[in-house]
Structure 1
Amino acid sequence: MTTGPLHDLGLTEKRTRLDAPSAGGCCGGAGGCACSQAAPAPRRRADSVTGAPAASVSVGPVTSVLGITGMTCGHCIASVMNELETIQGVESVDVLLNNGGVSRVTVTSATILDPDAVSAAVDEAGYELVDAE
C-alpha cells in the first residue's frame, strides 16, 4: 500500500469526542494563525437561530463531507475540529489538510446536521465552507 505525501507529513487528523484536543503545529501561510498558542477550547452552541437547543431525531450515524478553504497547519485543523465538535450530535471529525486548496473534512454525527450550524462553526473558526468536490 502506498501513502500520499499528506499522510507522510502527518497532516491528517481524526478525533472523536473522547480524544484530547490537538495542540497545533506550524504555519505555512497567511491567515493570522498563532500556532504558538493552543487551539481554543470548544464552546457549546445551540443548533438553532433562536439559541434554544435543537430538537433532534435519531437516525443512526450520518456522514457529511465538507470542503473548507484557508487551512494551512495543525492549528487550523484543531480550530475547525473544535468548532465542529460544538454542534449537537457530532460524534467525530476527520480532517485531510490540503494546504492551499480545499481541505476535506468528514463529520460523523448521530443525526443530520443543520447546515446553518455547520456554516456558522466553520465561519467561527475563521475559514470558508465550499463544495467538497
Structure 2
Amino acid sequence: MTEQRIDLGLTSTGTGGCGSGCGCGHAASTPASAAIATDTLRVEGMTCEHCVRAVTEELSALDGVDVVDVELHAGGTSIVRIATTDGADDARLAAAIDEAGYTLVR
C-alpha cells in the first residue's frame, strides 16, 4: 500500500492574525500597541456565586474591561482583579459595583 498525503492547508505559515503564527487568520484580541493595565479592587457584601456573577457582569460591561477575576471571601472583603486596555476610572468601577449591589472599599 502506498502512502498518500493531502495538504489540507492547516499548517502554520506565520501569517495568522493572532500574532502567534498559527495561520488561523482571526484578528488579534489585543493590538500589540495596546497597554494592558491591571487593578485589584476590594469589594464588600459578596456572599455567593450569584454575587460573583453580578459583579463580573457589571464590570465586564464597562468599555475597556477585558478580564474580571473574583476571589470570593463570603461575608468578608472579596478581591476583584480586572485587566483593562485603557485603564479604569475609579468612579466607573465604583458605579458598576454599586449597580451590582455591593460596595467598593477604598
TM-score of the alignment, normalized to the shorter chain, above 0.5: yes
Interval of TM-score (by shorter of Structure 1 and Structure 2): 0.5 to 0.7
1:99 is aligned, of 46, 51, 74, to 74
TM-score, normalization: structure 2? 0.67
In structure 2, the residue matched to 1:66 is 41
Q: Greater Rg, structure 1 or structure 2?
A: 2
Rounded to whole Å, the distance in 2 between the matches of 1:86 and 1:113 is 12
Report how far residue 87 of structure 1 moved.
0.9
In structure 2, the residue matched to 1:109 is 84
Q: Secondary structure at the match of 1:122?
A: helix
Report how far residue 59 of structure 1 moved.
5.2
**Identity between Structure 1 and Structure 2 (%):** 43
In structure 2, the residue matched to 1:38 is none
TM-score, normalization: structure 1? 0.54
**Structure with greater contact order relative to length (CA < 8 Å, sep ≥ 6):** 1
Aligned length: 74
Q: Which runs of 5+ in 1 are unaligned?
A: 1-57
Q: Secondary structure at the match of 1:79?
A: helix
Q: Which runs of 5+ in 2 are unaligned?
A: 1-32
The runs of at least 4 consecutive aligned structure 1 residues that moved more than 3 Å come to: none
